[in-house]
């Protein structure tokens, strides 16, 4: 598994663990890229996909002192209102704990 102290390392680790638990997930890019190319809307989680039961899941990766920005908080609030599973993860322990308790939270 890749180094987990970086955003990219933790992202890869979370994708690997979710995949082993039957989730279909992938890395998502949000905002704008070079040359004004539009990616996913601002606030969209770093990892998106669906759970084994078919429900949408979104995982926002946070490392170190990184905090959710207003777009990310709004996105999560709207997703929860639609009964989607969206959360913030700071470590592999976070995602493993969520999986042990049943699933990624939707509230």
pLDDT one-digit tens code per residue, 12-38? 999 999 999 999 999 998 777 777 777
pLDDT one-digit tens code per residue, 65-98? 999 999 999 999 999 999 888 999 999 999 999 8
Rounded distance between C-alpha atoms, residue 32 and residue 39, angstroms: 6
Quote the pTM value.
Answer: 0.86
Q: Is residue 37 part of a domain?
A: yes
Rounded distance between C-alpha atoms, residue 19 and residue 32, angstroms: 28
CATH code: domain of residue 66 = 3.40.1350.10
Q: Is residue 59 part of a domain?
A: yes
DSSP-assigned letters across all residues of 32-95: B-GGG-B-BPTT--SEEEE-TTS-EEEEEE--TT----HHHHHHHHHHHHTT-EEEEESSHHHH
- Count how many domains the chain has: 1
């Amino acid at each position: 598994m890749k180094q987990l102290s970086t955003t990219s390392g933790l992202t890869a680790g979370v994708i690997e663990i979710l995949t082993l638990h039957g989730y279909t997930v992938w890395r998502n890019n949000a905002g704008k890229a070079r040359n004004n190319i539009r990616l996913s809307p601002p606030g969209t989680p770093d990892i998106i996909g669906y759970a084994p039961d078919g429900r949408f899941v979104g995982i926002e990766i946070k490392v170190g002192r990184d905090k959710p920005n207003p777009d990310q908080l709004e996105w999560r609030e709207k997703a929860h209102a639609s009964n989607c599973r969206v959360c913030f993860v700071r470590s592999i322990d976070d995602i493993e704990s969520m999986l042990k308790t049943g699933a990624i939270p939707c509230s």
